[in-house]
Copies of this chain bind each other. A is one copy, B any other.
Amino acid sequence: MLSKNRIKFIRSLNINKFRYDNKAFVVEGFKSIHELMHSNLTIEMLYLTVEANEIFRTARSGLKTEIITGKAMKQISQMPTPPGILAIVAMPDTSIDPATLRGQLSLVLDGISDPGNLGTIIRTADWFGIRNIICSEDTVDPFHPKVVQSTMGSLFRVQITNTSLDTFLSKSSSFGLAIYGAVLDGQSIYQENLQTSSSLIVIGSESHGIRPAVLPFIERPLTIPLPTTKTTSGNPESLNASIAAAIIMAEFRRPV
């Protein structure tokens, strides 16, 4: 049976501070936990309802598990309709050395605040084979329950770091990484030479774009141009941050 203290502990992982104090986060749902088991992350404890255990029994060999009641699951779940399967996962090492990014294409996020947007960006980056995402300190936490949920398992395949972008980008430059960034008045992504190796793509926040303190690091400003065929008078001011990131990643990965 789950003790009151244990319930309190699991619920506290809803909150950023407690996740980092305890170096643990919560994952729920069959698909996500299936992906988790095929990743390098460590499941500290798996909670299952009796019903979920029937479905998952063969898959969970070697894992520390506890079968709990539906009522107890409701108490620890972060979802309105608990799927009946919940894992406590050890937070992976999130430090990053820019030198390890040489030869790779990586993503840098400056102040993305919507958990759904961050989740979608992580999922899209995973699709495009991007292995590292570096987030500014004010970007929403990648282990926030809503982010974990919306990455659909991609969170376990991409390494994510929260760090000071100024420090990180000034080091990156000295390691020979090319720094691209999405802005409103840059070079067209269809004209700029997109170097897919040893490159960083910086994406700014939903409402303010890349912040002024980060802009000086952008050596190669990029813009998604409005199509020339466009005839309408009014135009949207910008694209959603996750959409802009996706179109830029797709263009970097486009076969020649």
Interface residues of A, Cβ cutoff 8 Å to B = 35, 38-39, 116, 120, 123-124, 126-129, 131, 152-154, 156-157, 190, 196, 224-237, 239-240, 242-243, 246-247, 250-251, 253-255
B227 touches A124 (CB 8 A): no
Pair A234/B129 contact, Cβ less than 8 Å: no
Residues of B within 8 A of A126 (CB): 232, 235-236
On whether the beta carbons of B243 and A157 are closer than 8 Å, the reply is no
Chain B residues within an 8 Å CB radius of A128: 227, 230
A120 near B240 (CB under 8 angstroms)?
yes
* CB < 8 Å neighbour of A247 from B123, B231, B247: B247
A226 and B127 in contact, given A157-B234, A250-B250 (Cβ under 8 angstroms)? yes
Q: Is there an interface contact between A227 and B38, defined as CB atoms closer than 8 Å?
A: no
Look across to chain B and name the residue whose beta carbon is closest to the beta carbon of A255: B190
B250 adjacent to A224 (CB under 8 Å): yes
Instruction: Return the contact of A39 from the options B120, B228, B234, B253 (Cβ within 8 A).
Output: B234
Instruction: Evaluate whether A131 and B232 lie within 8 angstroms (CB atoms) in the complex, with A116-B116, A250-B224, A250-B247 already known.
Output: yes
CB-CB under 8 A from A237, the residues of chain B are 152
* A154, B254: Cα distance in complex, Å: 28
Contacting A254 at CB < 8 Å: which of B124, B190, B240, B243? B190
Chain B residue nearest to A31 (CB atoms) is B237
Bound-state CA distance A251–B124 (Å) is 16
Query: Nearest Cβ in chain B — how far from A97, in angstroms?
Result: 20
Chain B, residue nearest A231 (CB): B129
